[in-house]
């Protein structure tokens, strides 16, 4: 147990790790705490989270540039905002995208290191340039754009418009 605490202390002591993983994790936790009760269709959300995570795990690969994760959440969560605006708050796109990227990142790092001690040291190591930091920002930007378009009448599926006769 002390070895794990020592590893976590070393891992969390890096500024890049704080920027790349800890800040998005805290933001995600705060959004989840505030928005989860407003979220309906929770079984659908869990199913889509599992699908985006499994897609990321299956299509992730290593090369000289590091781990490349296919981020299905960038498409999936803004699409949820577009199709179910009353059931899925647009702010929930951030934590869902973060989880959709973080879990495949954890899995890919563990597989590369054969699950030995310190396998998690590369996660979030890119700091503000890491995919764990950038992907949720891009996703919530797309979700916010769709939300604003829906307020103006675009992408308003299922909304009955009054026909003007005269």
Q: What is the pLDDT of residues 36-58, one digit of tens each?
A: 988 888 999 999 999 999 998 99
Separation between Cα atoms, residue 115 and residue 126, nearest integer Å: 21
Residue 71 has a pLDDT of 85
Cβ burial of 150 (10 Å; 0-12, 13-18, 19+) is middle
Separation between Cα atoms, residue 120 and residue 9, nearest integer Å: 12
Which pLDDT band, with edges at 50, 70 and 90, does 15 fall under? confident
Separation between Cα atoms, residue 109 and residue 92, nearest integer Å: 26
Q: What is the pLDDT of residues 112-150, one digit of tens each?
A: 777 777 677 667 777 777 888 999 999 999 999 999 999
């Amino acid at each position: 147990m002390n070895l794990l605490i020592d590893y976590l202390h070393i891992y969390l002591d890096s500024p890049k790790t704080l920027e790349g993983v800890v800040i998005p994790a805290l933001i995600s936790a705060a959004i989840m705490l505030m928005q989860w009760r407003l979220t309906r269709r929770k079984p659908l959300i869990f199913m889509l989270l599992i699908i985006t995570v499994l897609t990321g795990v299956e299509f992730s690969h290593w090369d000289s540039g590091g781990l490349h994760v296919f981020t299905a959440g960038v498409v999936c969560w803004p699409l949820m905002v577009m199709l179910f605006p009353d059931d899925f708050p647009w702010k929930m796109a951030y934590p869902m995208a973060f989880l959709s990227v973080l879990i495949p990142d954890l899995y890919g790092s563990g597989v590369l290191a054969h699950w030995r001690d310190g396998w998690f040291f590369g996660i979030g190591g890119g700091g503000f340039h890491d995919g764990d930091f950038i992907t949720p920002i891009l996703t919530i930007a797309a979700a916010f754009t769709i939300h604003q378009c829906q307020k103006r009448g675009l992408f308003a599926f299922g909304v009955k418009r009054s026909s003007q006769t005269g």
